[in-house]
Amino acid sequence: MEQNYAKWARKIKSIAQIGLEYAENEYDRERYAELHELAAEMMAEVSTLPTEEWLRIFAKESGYATPKVDVRGAVFLDGKVLLAREASDGLWSLPGGWADVNDCPAEAVIREVKEETGHNVRCTKLAAVLDRDQHYQGEASPFHIYKLMFLCEIIGEADALCHDILEARFFSLDELPPLSEHRTLPMHIELMQRHLLDPSLPTQFD
């Protein structure tokens, strides 16, 4: 039910956001602003954030509402996978983050892997394009998110990490640390290993 609430809230929020962008009279703008508030109230019901915080989050978005793009890079070496530990929650994930404007997808994941692990890599395969909501049933997100999952290989020496990452290490697949599951699920790592072992597998998508 919480996931349904989040989906309904995001849909209402997207309608309100688009309406506020294109509405031509104040009466319509008032109605769309009320929908924004309703969506914030719904998100507050299924999260730990109050309505006012959701309104601040929503206010940062304007224009036509579209899904956000999260890129992740999977690097394997000697049967181990490279993970980064996030400062925000102390948990581990495949290195990655939001794609930036003017980055092509491969550039985005190469940048994220370097920032979060120090390693210079190149992308070898787009293994999966996943809808976050289809696989993760945890905390609600204010955004609809697509995850682009790339296989990568190291091409240079490691440099320093970015400020929001505590450490980066290789882990055996049967001894994974606690994962930051809204970023990386165990199934993501298993999926990427299957593509590593069988390069002929087609890209998986939802």
- What's the pLDDT at 3? 72
Using the predicted structure, report yes or no on whether residue 163 has a pLDDT greater than 70: no
For the chain, the domains span 2-59, 68-205
- What's the pLDDT at 179? 97
The confidence band for 198, taking pLDDT boundaries of 50, 70 and 90, is very high
In this prediction the pTM is 0.78
Q: Cβ of 97: how many Cβ atoms within 10 Å? A: 21
Please give the Cα distance from 21 to 17 (Å, whole number).
6
> CA nearest 129: which of 19, 204, 47?
204
Using the predicted structure, report yes or no on whether residue 157 has a pLDDT greater than 70: yes
Helix (H, G, I), strand (E, B) or coil at 144: coil
Please give the Cα distance from 34 to 38 (Å, whole number).
6
Q: What mean pLDDT, rounded, does the chain reach?
A: 90
CATH number for the region 68-205 comes to 3.90.79.10
Task: Answer yes or no: are the C-beta atoms of 147 and 133 closer than 8 Å.
Answer: no
- What's the pLDDT at 162? 64
CA distances from 104 to 109, 130, 131, 143 (A): 9, 18, 19, 21
Q: Could you report the per-residue pLDDT of 91-148, keeping only the tens digit for each?
A: 999 999 999 888 999 999 999 999 999 999 999 999 999 999 888 877 767 788 999 9
Q: What is the pLDDT averaged over residues 50-76?
A: 90
